[in-house]
Amino acid sequence: MATSTYEMNRERVIAVAAELFARNGYHGTGIAELGKAAGLGRGALYHYIESKEALLYAISKEQVDRMNTFAERAMSAGLEPEELLRTLARGLLRNIADHRAQWAVFFRDYGALTGERRDKVITARERYEGYWRQALDRGVQAGVLRPTPRLLVKGILGMLNYTYLWFDPGGELTPEQVADDFLDALMRGVRAG
What secondary structure, in 3-state letters, does the chain show? CCCCHHHHHHHHHHHHHHHHHHHHCCCCCCHHHHHHHHCCCHHHHHHHCCCHHHHHHHHHHHHHHHHHHHHHHHHCCCCCHHHHHHHHHHHHHHHHHHCHHHHHHHHHHHHHCCHHHHHHHHHHHHHHHHHHHHHHHHHHHCCCECCCCCCHHHHHHHHHHHHHHCCCCCCCCCHHHHHHHHHHHHHHHHECC
Q: pLDDT at position 4, please?
A: 87
The CATH number corresponding to 56-188 among 1.20.120.80, 1.10.357.10, 1.10.645.10, 1.20.1250.20 equals 1.10.357.10
The upper half-sphere exposure of residue 79, i.e. CA atoms within 13 Å in the direction of its Cβ, equals 18
Calpha distance 157→154 (Å, rounded): 5
pLDDT, block means (10 residues), the chain with 193 residues: 81 94 96 92 87 95 97 98 97 97 96 97 97 97 93 94 93 96 89 73
Residue 57: what are its φ and ψ, rounded to 5°?
Answer: -65, -45
Q: pLDDT at position 21, please?
A: 97
- Do the Cβ atoms of 60 and 70 come closer than 8 Å? no
pTM of the complete model: 0.91
Q: pLDDT at position 192, please?
A: 74
Q: pLDDT at position 155, please?
A: 94
CATH of domain 1-49: 1.10.10.60
Q: pLDDT at position 1, please?
A: 54
Q: pLDDT at position 183, please?
A: 93
Q: List the chain domain ranges.
A: 1-49, 56-188
User: How many whole angstroms from its chain centre is CA 85?
Assistant: 16
